Amino acid sequence: MTPMTESLPPLPDETLIDDLAAMPVASQLRLGAFRLFSRLLHEAPTVAFLAELRASNLVGTLATLASEAGSPASAALRALADWFGAVDDPGLEEGRRDYLQLFVAKHLAAPPWESVYSSTERLVNQDAAREVLRAYAEAELGFDGWKQIPADHISLELAFAATLIAETPRKVEAQARLDRFEAAHLASWVPRFCADLGGAAKSPLYKHLAEALPALLTARAGA
């Protein structure tokens, strides 16, 4: 069983590049964007990560793919690519401070856990977290870090969706798993999370991300 934490690899990597090249444009877009957003929502941006992105032009490539696919995420991804291309040290530091305020502070305007949005008590580690954990196990992705980070954290859910997209050319059941997971989980709370995120973010980084992600959830593989 593959550890779920391996779904959060460095970007870009050779596996991602190979996966993208073999897929339809809409799938390339969703795979690359979900992997990127997973990492951006998992940890604050660093100078090293910025250098990786600039060297690979990954965000620019995603913006081009979105344009080719006619995705409603196109404008937000282009704005995100421009931000990564032009951001200076103060701008990156603003992004880091924004991450801490959005996801580490005591009172969060955009809690990054599905359970908070799906439970009436707005608590973490509720039914949604257990359901997501079962989905990981059914797809043979083990996750034993739930005591440190709930399984329904946005970064893990996006990494899981990206993993399923990457598996669709090789595993017949992957597309069905992805469709079920998006309908039962991502589509049920991520648009509300992104609305909260966009309203609370101060950095263009998270404002553009919050605009792009809901649009990517409506894109279908092979479109």
pLDDT at 13: 56
42 three-class SS: coil
Q: The domain spanning residue 46 has which CATH number?
A: 1.10.3480.10
pLDDT at 7: 45
What backbone phi and psi angles, to 5 degrees, belong to 113?
-125, 135
- What gap in Å lies between CA 139 and CA 79, rounded to an integer? 34
In a domain, 222, yes or no: no
Q: Which range of residues forms the domain containing residue 111?
A: 2-217
pLDDT at 170: 84
pLDDT at 220: 52
pLDDT at 221: 40
In a domain, 47, yes or no: yes
Domain count, the chain: 1
pLDDT at 203: 97
In a domain, 194, yes or no: yes
Distance, CA of 76 to chain centre: 14
Amino acid at 32: G
pLDDT tens-digit readout, 169-216:
888 899 999 999 999 999 999 999 999 999 999 999 999 999 999 999
pLDDT at 20: 64
Q: How many CA atoms lie within 13 A of 72 on its CB side?
A: 10
Residues of the chain scoring pLDDT < 50: 1, 6-11, 221-223
In a domain, 223, yes or no: no
pTM comes to 0.91
- What gap in Å lies between CA 95 and CA 49, rounded to an integer? 13
pLDDT at 183: 95
In a domain, 39, yes or no: yes
